[in-house]
Structure 1
Amino acid sequence: MATPTIQPGQIKTGPGLIIYKYGLTTMPTVTAAASKVVFDYATDGWIQVGATEAGLTYTESTSTEAIRVAESAYPVRTVTTEKGGTIAFTMSHISDVNWKLAMNGGTITVTGSGATKLSTYVPPLVGAEVRVALGFISLDGDEAIVWPQVFNGGSVETARSELATKAGLPVEFAVELPDPTILATPYKRWTAGALAQGT
């Protein structure tokens, strides 16, 4: 019986770090060291989302059309007619900056400091929403993905009900094609260690 070679390092579990950035103009510099991805997001203006309900789910979809001729039961070609991607997660930190992220921008005005600090948020009107760059770094630090331009097209529903019901900010970002001076594709993915198998 033929059996596959098991690569335990390629079997991934657990969540990771979700980060975002407004006004991305260049893709980050990502390198590898000690079989880990080196992405200096903290000094490059990226913001952490913090804790989530169940981590992040990335979905990439492809719609196709079969090209057929009368003489064949099989299609002679399959062409791609549409592609799309979504990044979904529920933020457990209901902070002012995460609220702004979920609402596609807006304005936060801060007054006071310490115990008198007060943040006032005003949402954007239709047409004034902004796009952000979204990033993910795996729990093991051996994978990073950056989507340069995403937009939250999902409904934001946060429940404040029973004492034991934890509120959350659900988002479902649509992946868009960014400015080609930043990146000519919808995202870029880096891997190191056992995940880096390219030849």
Structure 2
Amino acid sequence: MVYFGFPEKPTVFNLTLGITIILYLLVLQFFRNPKVVTPVNDKHVVAPADGKVVVIEETTETEYLKDKRIQVSIFMSPVNVHVNRMPVKGAVEFFKYHAGKYLVAWHPKSSIENERTTLVVKTPSGIPILMRQIAGALARRIKWYVKEGQEFEQGQEFGFIKFGSRVDVFLPLDAKVKVNIGDKTKGGMTVLAELD
């Protein structure tokens, strides 16, 4: 019997077939986009992505807001859903794409050196929330469905990052953070913070 290029080697054929099936299933699993019902609340900032909280710190946002903020960063591993969802309802005030490097997504400099997008949404009460999609070492493509002036509902899909990556959210200093380092998040569902 001939095994498609592996004559008389059924073990090699079966191993190759098994690895191919596993890779195919992993790619299918990665590109999934499950239906999400967001618990809409104008005071809540929900997680923009599935993943793990890796940073909660006070920092200075230097690109657009140019003030002190609380940064909450969510790392998405290759097995997470990589659809990005709007954490608040509002209008897009600012959007910019930056070409860059492909450092691992959890590297501290990835948020300023990697390929990334910066997006600012102003809530109906006038609070600007800045988000940054950051490509990682494997994630070499960021997709976004955003333009300045566009209105979004809380939980609405606004982008996608392929394979391992990160999303940073910059909150006002008086926001009450509701997650801790190491917590798992569900995009469009987990409450990251409460606004005053």
Shorter-chain TM-score above 0.5: no
Q: Which has the higher contact order (CA 8 A, sep 6+)?
A: 2
Please report the TM-score for the alignment, with normalisation by the length of structure 1: 0.27
TM-score normalised per structure 2: 0.27
If you compute each CA radius of gyration, which structure gives the higher value, 1 or 2?
A: 1
